[in-house]
Amino acid sequence: MASMLSMENPVFVSYAIAAALMILKIMGQGWMTVVLMLKTDAGLLNPEDLRPSPANRSPRPEQLDPHPVVERSRRMQRNDLENIPAFLVCGLLFVSVEPPFWAAVLLFVLFVLTRLAHTLAYATAQNHEVRAIFYSIGSLVIMIMAVWVLAVAVF
């Protein structure tokens, strides 16, 4: 019998696609923060970043103040870190309990779409409720998978 955790298992393939996309999402948010720091010329975190250097030719003390645009990207990244690593591991565990293909694809797609929608809602400063809906669905997806894994493991 082939391992469940291999590219021969369609459920694993769908997990691998969702996981790779979400990993690119985490890393992409980090790069977005860098781009916004360069664009606003602000949002630095460290005293040494005020030394004159190729990336900062005319340093000013206020560059160390929190900049709303950069801080927004950092909050988005923090929200990713509160959700995506748990999804990555929970999804892998979910694959190991051999769920129906449709259930796995449904949950993986739901998580990826609501996370991207959350990012878009956050980046464009939509109302709290809009973000909350996308956050909640993604969070529920993870919890459903975790409870499913628990149920299979315990019984």
Q: Which of 86, 41, 91 is nearest to 67 (CA)?
A: 41
Q: How far is the CB of 2 from its own copies (least distance, A)?
A: 7
Q: Which is nearer to its own copies, 85 or 120 (CB)?
A: 85
Q: How far is the CB of 119 from its own copies (least distance, A)?
A: 14
Q: How far is the CB of 67 from its own copies (least distance, A)?
A: 13
Tell me the one-letter amino acid at 127. Answer: N
Query: Which residues lie near its own copies (CB under 8 A)?
Result: 1-7, 12-13, 16-17, 19-21, 23-24, 26-27, 30-31, 34, 44-49, 51, 53-56, 68, 72, 75, 77, 81-86, 88-90, 92-93, 96-98, 122, 125-129, 132, 139, 142-143, 146-147, 149-150, 152-154
By the 8 A CB rule, do 10 and 100 touch? Answer: no
By the 8 A CB rule, do 79 and 122 touch? Answer: yes
Give residue 35's region: left, alpha or beta (phi > 0; psi -120 to 50): alpha
